[in-house]
Structure 1
Amino acid sequence: MNTQEITIAAESKHPLKVKRFGYGTMRLTGEGIWGEPANRPEALQILKQCLQSGINFIDTADYYGEDVTNRLIAEALYPYPAELVICTKVGGARKPDKSWVPFNRPEDLRSSIDNNLRTLKTDQISLVHFRVLAGSGVPFKESMQAMFDMQQEGKILHVGVSNVSPDELQTAMDMGNIATVENMYGHAQRSSITLTHGGETRGGEEVLAICEQNKIPLVPYFSLFQSMPKQDNRISTIAKKYNATEAQINLAWLLHRSPWILPIPGTSSLKHFEENLKATEIRLSEADMMFLE
């Protein structure tokens, strides 16, 4: 894998250096982000291949499955190498009918953190994103304060936020150190949209600008999922130029778009995993980037 490093929480006492290309585990679950993977051996092999390929940033959540991806990570990679950063999310939960619901009262967040610590078999989680879901009724600052409280207790090393608006990001930064932001972002998705689960999903360019100004890595989720619908033929044109797939060009575009973007493409296919890795070897020219803009 040919990619640069990025530093998370660079000005803290415990900065984390990771390769600027991670892996998101959500697709390792069963259909509907629920239950065990269709091919468990392949799922475990993908996680092992992450380390063998140089990836040392893995994104997960205890509501993937439920608890499926955390248990797979522990089974495949525990005891964890010192350079591995496992990032999890709290703030949401799943009902038995597979619906997504907010789970962001202080006691809910504490319960989620304790569950993540147990399933990941660790005493401290390196990075935790508080995921904002619509309709919770809990003030944003109240949830964030609970996150910072658990950081003070040592359960969380670094606090991040996910699915935040520019105003929410600024509020969080005013309350404490924000290590990373995990928002939807991709070539064809740079503004807010509404998903079938989780309500409004906040994007885009305004949040990226704040991240760049404050040297905060932006971890884009659904970058391929939302980028694949063909709104125009620019991606396919560049893909043909480099004899690459459109997914690879989407990832290459993210890597070139800003040095503060840390892509985490996910897949349940080892073949697609290897294809995604090859995106790090594509060098888009300035003319390519201007064409894609």
Structure 2
Amino acid sequence: MTTITIAQNSAHPFTVSRLGYGTMRLTGPGIWGEPADRPQALEILKTAVASGVNFLDTADYYGEDVTNRLIAEALHPYPTDLVICTKVGGARRPDKSWIPFNTPENLRTSIDNNLRTLKLDQIQLVHFRVLGHGGPSIEESLGAMFEMQKEGKILHVGLSNVSREELEAGLKLGEIATVENMYGYAQRTTLREAHGETRGGEEVLDLCEKHGIPLIPFFSLVHGLPNAGDKLAEMARQRGVTEAQLNIAWLLHKSPWILPIPGTSSLAHLRENLKAAEIQLSAEDMAYLG
């Protein structure tokens, strides 16, 4: 499995395998509550790390706190090369709706909660997720993140669900280690839904490449596959792989600065996703897929 370096220009860069694991799907229905099969959820985390995955993506509002607690139960004390990345900026209401939680005080509360539930003294990478409109400016929220970085609670700061303009604003405020936006073969640009706006990867990929910032795609399998079209399906049939596997392989070949984190609640699907790193796509294959 190839690798990628995060925060390469900082005093504390780290290199991880270029296929991570997103833990969101380990929760119950609606990204809420305990997993239907808790032993399998724990085994998925253990198997991923044993298979060479050393980048995990989580958030304290998954569950709530469910994925953080699963990670700690399955893997603590953590391997020295394991990077746990979390997100702040959002929260859940009792009715399971999503709300912004992005004032400086909110962000500090979330960071402290993540530190407690993950059993960490410092979180290696934290994304500030833009969720909804209004509230503090990105300058105010990111300022709070960089302050906690100075305090040692955070090692590196990233951005999630950001527009090109928001990323440009963030780059003027301090070092942005990573960007986490929705991205997949068939869903590459901003998606506007009833509950708000989900920013895509295509708008920011060239900026990430220019600045050496890894782009971490989320929802690449959830949103990417239903409208993927005949080309992806046909090539998957020809190769004897699933469309999900080919979608991951496309991301890995699209740019060396992309770090996919496909998630699943199935141990069998985890193993399938990991095998996607073995799929080789030529320049002609990528041109055909478009």
Asked if the contact 2:129/2:161 (under 8 Å) is kept, the reply is: yes
Identify the range of structure 1 (53-62 vs 202-211) with the bigger mean alpha-carbon deviation.
202-211
- Pick from 227, 248, 252 the counterpart of residue 251 of structure 1: 248
> Partners of 1:278 and 1:136 in 2: how far apart?
42
Shift of 1:195: 3.6
> Partners of 1:158 and 1:67 in 2: how far apart?
21
Identify unmatched segments of 5+ residues in structure 1: none
Which residue of structure 1 lines up, in the alignment, with residue 288 of structure 2? Answer: 291
* Aligned pairs (5 A) from 1:106-117: 106-117=104-115
Asked if the contact 1:104/1:136 (under 8 Å) is kept, the reply is: no
> Partners of 1:101 and 1:31 in 2: how far apart?
18
Normalised by the size of structure 2, how large is the TM-score? 0.99
> Partners of 1:203 and 1:117 in 2: how far apart?
29
Asked if the contact 2:182/2:218 (under 8 Å) is kept, the reply is: yes
Q: Secondary structure at the match of 2:156?
A: strand
Q: Secondary structure at the match of 2:182?
A: coil
Deviations 1:150-192 (A, max 9, x none): 0000000000000000111011111000000000011111110
Asked if the contact 1:103/1:136 (under 8 Å) is kept, the reply is: no
Asked if the contact 1:30/1:36 (under 8 Å) is kept, the reply is: yes
> Partners of 1:72 and 1:233 in 2: how far apart?
38
Asked if the contact 1:129/1:161 (under 8 Å) is kept, the reply is: yes
Q: Secondary structure at the match of 1:206?
A: coil
Asked if the contact 1:131/1:162 (under 8 Å) is kept, the reply is: yes
Q: Secondary structure at the match of 2:170?
A: helix
Which residue of structure 2 lines up, in the alignment, with residue 32 of structure 1? Answer: 30
- What is the letter of the counterpart of residue 250 of structure 1? N
Shift of 1:205: 1.7
Shift of 1:7: 0.3
Which residue of structure 1 lines up, in the alignment, with residue 224 of structure 2? Answer: 227
Asked if the contact 1:160/1:179 (under 8 Å) is kept, the reply is: yes
- What is the letter of the counterpart of residue 138 of structure 1? P
* Aligned pairs (5 A) from 1:8-47: 8-47=6-45
Alignment RMSD: 0.8
Q: Which runs of 4+ in 1 moved over 3 A?
A: none
* Aligned pairs (5 A) from 1:130-145: 130-145=128-143
> Partners of 1:136 and 1:274 in 2: how far apart?
41
Deviations 1:78-114 (A, max 9, x none): 0011100000000000000000000000000000000
- What is the letter of the counterpart of residue 37 of structure 1? P
Shift of 1:196: 4.8
- Pick from 186, 189, 210 the counterpart of residue 188 of structure 1: 186
- Pick from 211, 216, 219 the counterpart of residue 213 of structure 2: 216
Q: Secondary structure at the match of 2:275?
A: helix
Give aligned-pair identity as a percent.
67
Asked if the contact 1:102/1:136 (under 8 Å) is kept, the reply is: no
The reply to whether residue 264 of structure 1 matches residue 261 of structure 2 is: yes
- What is the letter of the counterpart of residue 160 of structure 1? G
- What is the letter of the counterpart of residue 84 of structure 1? L
Identify unmatched segments of 5+ residues in structure 2: none
Shift of 1:134: 1.0
- What is the letter of the counterpart of residue 202 of structure 1? R
- What is the letter of the counterpart of residue 190 of structure 2? S
Deviations 1:45-95 (A, max 9, x none): 000011110000000000000000000000000001110000000000000
> Partners of 1:213 and 1:205 in 2: how far apart?
14
CA change 1:226–1:98 in 2 (3 A) is same
> Partners of 1:105 and 1:195 in 2: how far apart?
24
